[in-house]
A and B are shown apart, each in its own frame.
Chain A
Amino acid sequence: GDSVTQMEGPVTLSEEAFLTINCTYTATGYPSLFWYVQYPGEGLQLLLKATKADDKGSNKGFEATYRKETTSFHLEKGSVQVSDSAVYFCALNKQGDKLIFGTGTRLQVFP
């Protein structure tokens, strides 16, 4: 079945460091890909998304490019802030239906 694999966390960075969180997927057909973020004590919020190959999703300085050839959707940010500390979930769906999530990657940013 369809699945999402994320890098293990936690990822620990100093403020202003470059962030990459790896995400790869297995799916038949043409899934849409998403990054959701969960800040401490809060629910899941959509961070960014891409619906077809080579699309780039971006929001709040975060970016991810839908790479069909490598079945990847890695999350990047050029300069992280303490306020970016959260758990990041990569997810996919097809035809807009249920989301299939990865295990989540905790990011901790220190001043």
Chain B
Amino acid sequence: EPEVTQTPSHQVTQMGQEVILRCVPISNHLYFYWYRQILGQKVEFLVSFYNNEISEKSEIFDDQFSVERPDGSNFTLKIRSTKLEDSAMYFCASSPDLLPGNTIYFGEGSWLTVV
């Protein structure tokens, strides 16, 4: 079964450093998402991406965050200058369309620890 793959599975970084989290969505999907889950808390929407541009972003997704689909297969999340509070599991997700009830498929997550 096709799946969303994410790398790295775990990254430790120093505060202030830039981090890039990578994702390969399912190949025929058109809509891409990033979510995050701070330890013990709910899964929160960060950003959605369609047709090479951001379609929606949450309040969390400030100027420190950016997304890119550089080569038609990868989908990346960049955090420019990490803060301690960015420590979380980051999930990439994709879906084929926006029909009601469509399934959004998630990767296994990238665990980011900022020290």
* Chain A contacts to B: CB under 8 angstroms: 30, 32, 36, 42-46, 49-51, 89, 91, 93-104
User: Given the complex, which residues of B lie within 8 Å of A89, measured CB to CB?
Assistant: 42-43
B45 touches A99 (CB 8 A): yes
Known: A96-B98, A97-B48, A101-B42; 18 extra A-B contacts, CB below 8 A, are: A36-B106, A42-B108, A43-B91, A43-B106, A44-B93, A50-B101, A51-B100, A94-B100, A96-B99, A97-B56, A98-B33, A98-B48, A99-B35, A99-B43, A99-B45, A101-B43, A104-B42, A104-B43
Q: How far is the CB of A30 from chain B (nearest CB, A)?
A: 8
> In the complex, A102 Cα to B106 Cα: how many Å?
16
The answer on a CB contact under 8 Å between B56 and A44 is no
Q: How large is the interface on B (under 10, 10 to 19, 20 to 34, 35 or more residues)?
A: 20 to 34
Q: How far is the CA of A36 from the CA of B37 in the complex (A)?
A: 14
Give me the interface of B with A, judged by CB distance under 8 Å. Answer: 33, 35, 41-45, 48, 56, 91, 93, 95, 97-109
Q: Between A and B, how many residue pairs show CB distances below 8 Å? A: 57
Tell me which residues across on chain B come within 8 A of A99, comparing CB atoms.
Answer: 35, 43, 45, 104
B95 closest partner in A (C-beta): A96
On chain A, the residues within 8 Å of B44 by CB distance are 101
Q: How far is A43 from B6 in the complex, measured between Cα atoms in Å?
A: 10
**Cα–Cα distance between A80 and B90 once the two chains are bound (Å):** 29
Please list 7 pairs of residues, one from A and one from B, whose beta carbons are closer than 8 Å in the complex, sorted by A's number.
A44-B106, A45-B106, A94-B100, A95-B98, A96-B101, A98-B33, A99-B104
